[in-house]
């Protein structure tokens, strides 16, 4: 089947051919005709199979006829992350170059001024993350009553990031007579309920079993000790004919530390995670696309929808906590019919997570054995630890210490000697105050999905989801009253 058989306009077919495409993917071949017939769609397909073009192409032809109005977009596409929203915008620019359509991109991390100006001039296509869209709606900068077509992309990721309440609120503000398209690689029960509520007699298109992996991707799990993960990763990067690779970690701190470690060992690596501002994230991603760097260490902010051609390898430095993320992570390679390789470094702590992944995908991942030692890698941290250990004075064994400190036995009636008299010395270790707040220096960052914390709130403008503990200072005591610590027996739990 050719794109010319799907009922697209000649102008659109010319743009598709200029982009280098001739034959549609299975999801495109089934979705495009149904969208052109104004049917509601539920599309389930593996990541990397062309879902984006499956709704972008027919939308361009549908919107080619009509008039745009200020503050009232004619169509809306909801995306979970800024990178995915920007990628969909690039697709509209590429395929809609022969049409007179205006587009606006509403994402967090950038100024609202240009976005508000574009809305005031009128847009045909509005591509937005839920947080920034809700912000502008509450400010009265946008009206959704003229939206005739809604696309909810990566719906399962919307669920993971906590966007479902926002999606429900947005859908309630749209006209009831509209066309709704829902695309996802997985279909958990909450998403099915969302589809049943907001879609009207939808056509279900499923080109692969939900949560199945791409058969063009060769998968391996590498069992290593926890302290040998970096050494194993470097070994694979040097020996497995890697041209470009994305390395996924569960925590943002791990992303930063691993990228720094790879650079120190001579690799051309960059990083991308949710704590970076949008301009820095775009710059790192562009370096990776342009070949300035060939290794991108990333959090799950890059796991969904990110389309970079020619990614030969994906490495899971950490096994994902949520098994669905495994499908999306390895889907960054093997795209568009190409082949790819995916490696997951599995330590004993990852045993439960990798079992959940294999249950979801329906098969055991082949095990690869590496010819490297399980000792810790020669990084700076072990060296620093040994140096600190050398500086500490050696402690006497407990038995010897007890013997040296035990007073000599004397007769019951004997007078105490000077050695038996205890000598009170001031302790060199400061005891913590009872009324001082306790501090845990080894606290781990709470895991929130993103590493998408920058996108997961009601606003994409930089709100932080973590609340800091506040300590209220007590007023000074009146003259003549006790101002010291309160004895324990005077403490009360409530007044």
CATH number assigned to the domain covering 217-380: 3.40.50.300
> Hunting for tokens 């079992």 — which residue is that?
355
Q: Which of 16-30, 238-252, 327-341 has the lowest mean pLDDT?
A: 327-341
The topology (CATH level 3) of 3-206 is: Rossmann fold (3.40.50)
Three-class DSSP category at 118: helix
pLDDT digit string (tens) for 395-409? 544 444 444 444 444
Q: How confident is the model at residue 47 (pLDDT cuts 50, 70, 90)?
A: low
**71-96: average pLDDT:** 92
Percent of the chain with pLDDT over 70: 73
Please state the length of the chain.
495
Question: What is the pairing mode between strands 313-316 and 340-346?
Answer: parallel
Residue with tokens 């051309």: 268
The SS3 call for residue 291 is coil
Closest CA to 98 of 24, 33, 4, 17: 17
Which residue is it, tokens 């034959």?
23
pTM: 0.60
Query: Taking the CB of residue 466, how many other CB atoms lie within 10 A of it?
Result: 8
pLDDT tens digits for range 97-118: 999 999 999 998 888 899 999 9
DSSP class per residue in 150-211: EEE-SHHHHHHTT-HHHHHHHHHTS-SS-EEEEEES---HHHHHHHHHH-SSPEEEESS-TT
Q: How far apart are CA 463 and CA 455, in angstroms?
A: 9
313 has pLDDT over 90: yes
**Angstrom distance (rounded) from CA 473 to CA 490:** 19
Structure tokens at 300: 């799950």
Q: Residue 76 phi/psi, 5° resolution?
A: -140, 130
More confident residue, 472 or 262: 262
What's the pLDDT at 111? 85
Q: Which two tokens stand for residue 246?
A: 């994305």
Strands 203-206, 75-78: pairing is unpaired
Whole-number pLDDT of residue 17: 92
- Sheet bearing 179-184, strands edge to edge: 103-106, 125-128, 75-78, 149-152, 179-184, 41-44, 203-206
Residues of the chain within CATH 3.40.50.300 domain(s) are: 3-206, 217-380
Q: Is the pLDDT of residue 449 over 70?
A: no
pLDDT attached to residue 354: 95
């Amino acid at each position: 089947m050719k794109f010319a058989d799907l009922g697209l306009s000649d102008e659109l077919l010319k743009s598709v051919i200029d982009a280098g495409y001739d034959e549609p993917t299975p999801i495109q071949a089934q979705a495009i005709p149904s969208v052109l017939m104004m049917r509601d769609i539920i599309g389930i397909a593996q990541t990397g199979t062309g879902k984006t073009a499956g709704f972008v192409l027919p939308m361009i032809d549908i919107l080619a006829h009509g008039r745009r109005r200020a503050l009232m977009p004619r169509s809306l596409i909801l995306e979970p992350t800024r990178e995915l929203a920007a990628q969909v915008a690039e697709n509209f620019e590429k395929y809609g170059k022969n049409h007179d359509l205006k587009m606006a991109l509403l994402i967090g991390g950038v100024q609202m001024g240009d976005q508000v100006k574009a809305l005031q001039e009128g847009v045909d296509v509005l591509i937005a993350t839920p947080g920034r869209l809700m912000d502008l709606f509450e400010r009265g900068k946008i009206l959704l009553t003229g939206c005739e077509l809604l696309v909810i992309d990566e719906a399962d990721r919307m669920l993971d990031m906590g966007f479902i309440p926002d999606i429900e609120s947005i859908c309630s503000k749209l006209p009831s007579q509209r066309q709704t398209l829902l695309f996802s690689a997985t279909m958990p029960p909450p998403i099915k309920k969302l589809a049943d509520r907001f879609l009207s007699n939808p056509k279900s298109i499923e080109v692969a079993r939900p949560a199945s992996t791409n058969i063009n991707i060769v998968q391996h799990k590498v069992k290593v000790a926890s302290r040998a993960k970096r050494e194993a990763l470097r070994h694979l990067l040097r020996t497995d004919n890697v041209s470009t690779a994305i390395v996924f970690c569960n925590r943002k701190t791990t992303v930063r530390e691993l990228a720094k470690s790879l650079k120190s060992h001579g690799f051309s690596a960059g990083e991308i995670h949710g704590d970076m501002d949008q301009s820095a994230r775009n710059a790192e991603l562009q370096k990776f696309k342009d070949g300035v760097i060939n290794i991108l260490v990333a959090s799950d902010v890059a796991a969904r929808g990110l389309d970079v051609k020619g990614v030969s390898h994906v490495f899971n430095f950490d096994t994902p906590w949520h098994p669905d993320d495994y499908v999306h992570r390895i889907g960054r390679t093997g795209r568009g019919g190409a082949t790819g390789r995916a490696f997951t470094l599995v330590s004993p702590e990852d045993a439960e997570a990798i079992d959940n992944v294999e249950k979801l995908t329906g098969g055991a991942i082949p095990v690869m054995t590496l010819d490297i030692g399980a000792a810790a890698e020669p990084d700076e941290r072990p060296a620093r630890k040994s140096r600190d250990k050398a500086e500490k004075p050696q402690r006497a064994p407990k038995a010897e210490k007890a013997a040296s400190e035990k007073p000599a036995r004397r007769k019951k009636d004997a007078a105490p000697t000077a050695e038996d008299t205890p000598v009170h010395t001031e302790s060199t270790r400061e005891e913590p105050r009872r009324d001082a707040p306790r501090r845990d220096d080894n606290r781990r960052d709470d895991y929130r999905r993103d590493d998408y914390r920058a996108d997961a709130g009601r606003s994409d403008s930089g709100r932080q989801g973590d609340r800091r503990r506040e300590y209220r200072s007590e007023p000074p005591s009146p003259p003549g009253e006790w101002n010291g610590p309160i004895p324990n027996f005077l403490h009360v739990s409530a007044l």
